[in-house]
Amino acid sequence: MRSVDGVSSVAVADQNRCTSCGAQVAPELESCNYCHAPTPWAARLRWEREQRHAVQQHYQQQAEHTQEQQRRYTLERQMNAAASASLGWSVASLVCCILPVPGVIGLLKALTARKIARELRLATPNGALVGITLSGLSVLLGAGMWIFIVLDEIGRSQRIAELETELAEAREEKSLDAEDACRLVELYILKEKPAGVPSTCAFDCDGAAMRKEGGKSYVDEVKCLKSPPAKLSACLRKGDKWVVDEVRVDLLCGKEYPAVTGSASASPSGASSAVPSASASAGASAAASGSSAP
């Protein structure tokens, strides 16, 4: 009888037999193929299988834990970056609040940071909270400013259309009265927006007066009710219809004013005051000559 590692082949075969029916059973099976009775080594195989499963579960849990830590780390970085970006965009939105884009971007970044914080069950970063407040305020201010600009532009367009309708016939006449000339000045300012002339004020034509010099027409004392109030003077010209050539603030149109240098000053009437130093020198000379006379 041959032996395998000191154990006879008959003994090995007997060990692999089913204890119930005596059939030959493979050593990797936990039950007999014929009577389905558990093999003597079934308990050992189950234990080995459970140990392998436990080891696999352990390594799988470790891998999942590592992935979760990596995911949380990545999300926290994204959350902090979004909070910082929100703070920066919100500050920029206050600087240029007329543009709603920075405020909207800052608000979106802050909401992204808050969403990530809720997913990670963390407190919302302070930068995101400040960003939500400042960006929201900026968006409201920007929206309010744009609404004001749009409404003001609508009002200006309506006023221009109204003045053009009212002055259509008067501008064709040979002469203008003071009230029509005043309204023509208002129309000119609203349409052309000349530099140095306020266009966001209410016009008062009470007291406006026509003036003609050298064959040219002017209108003076057109009041602009702003803070502080101003008086306007305009040069008018009659071609196919009456038009405004120039508007001056607190100076008479058509008048030439000397340059203001030193202590000399120009008056609205066109006359310049004498230089005090020259007057003082003349007085001193007169006094000196008088005292030297016998």
- DSSP letters spanning 9-21: HHHHHHHTB-TTT
Task: State the average pLDDT for the chain.
Answer: 78
* Nearest of 145, 224, 148, 217 to residue 189 by alpha carbon: 224
State the pLDDT confidence band at 284, using cuts at 50, 70 and 90: very low
pLDDT value for 198: 72
State the pLDDT confidence band at 250, using cuts at 50, 70 and 90: confident
Pair 116, 57 in one domain: yes
Calpha distance 106→145 (Å, rounded)? 19
Least confident of 12-16, 28-32, 143-147, 215-219: 12-16
Any domain includes 58: yes
The domain in which residue 192 lies consists of 173-249
Q: DSSP labels for 167-214?
A: TTTGGGSSS--HHHHHHHHHHHHHHH--TTS--SSEEE-TT-EEEEET
pLDDT value for 254: 77
Any domain includes 163: no
In sequence order, the 6+-apart residues with CB closer than 8 A to the CB of 264 are 258, 272, 273, 274, 275
Residue-wise pLDDT for 74-110, tens only, equals: 999 999 999 999 989 888 887 876 677 888 899 899 9
pLDDT value for 257: 72
Q: What is the CATH number of the domain that holds 221?
A: 3.10.450.630
| Total tally of structural domains belonging to the chain | 3
Pair 127, 202 in one domain: no
- Is it the case that residue 289 has pLDDT exceeding 80? no
Please compute the mean of the pLDDT values over residues 252-258 and round it to a whole number.
Answer: 78
Pair 134, 224 in one domain: no
CB 153 within 8 A of CB 119: no
State the pLDDT confidence band at 271, using cuts at 50, 70 and 90: very low
In this prediction the pTM is: 0.52
Residue-wise pLDDT for 36-57, tens only, equals: 778 777 778 888 888 888 999 8
Any domain includes 294: no
Pair 241, 198 in one domain: yes
Pair 129, 220 in one domain: no
Any domain includes 110: yes
Any domain includes 126: yes
